[in-house]
Amino acid sequence: MSKKLFVGNLSWDTTDEDLRNEFSRVAPVLSATVATDRDTGRSRGFGFVEVEESDAAAVISSMNGKDVGGRQLTVNEARPRESRGNSGGFRRGGSSRY
């Protein structure tokens, strides 16, 4: 079984391959992805690395706070994305105030 780890505070020029190479020094990496802006394709400064569950704790302790590309990484267990819901301020259904 695998664990997905959140990696924050990445350098803007970090690629998927850079991320994989850096984390592979600690444990085998199943996948590595840098999050990019949908419109510009530019890095959003964070990404995800997937490792075997048995390696996750060692990877977190080795990589969290490590200086990579002049930036201190934030590494922790990824949490499921929260539902955005209807945050536009409008409600569906129900009665109108007007």
Identify the bridge partners of residue 49 per DSSP, sorted by sequence position: 5, 32
Q: Please choose, from the candidates 21, 23, 2, the residue with its C-alpha nearest in 3D space to the C-alpha of residue 73.
A: 23
pLDDT the model gives residue 16: 97
pLDDT the model gives residue 82: 80
pLDDT the model gives residue 87: 56
The full set of domain ranges for the chain reads 2-77
Q: Please choose, from the candidates 65, 92, 88, the residue with its C-alpha nearest in 3D space to the C-alpha of residue 76.
A: 65
What's the CA gap between 78 and 29, in Å, rounded?
A: 15
Q: Mean pLDDT, 10 residues at a time, over the chain (98 residues)?
A: 97 96 98 96 96 98 96 96 65 53
pLDDT the model gives residue 63: 98
Q: Please choose, from the candidates 45, 37, 39, the residue with its C-alpha nearest in 3D space to the C-alpha of residue 10.
A: 45
What's the CA gap between 7 and 74, in Å, rounded?
A: 6
pLDDT the model gives residue 81: 80
Q: Specify the CATH number for 2-77; select among 3.60.15.10, 3.30.70.330, 1.10.1380.10, 3.10.129.10.
A: 3.30.70.330
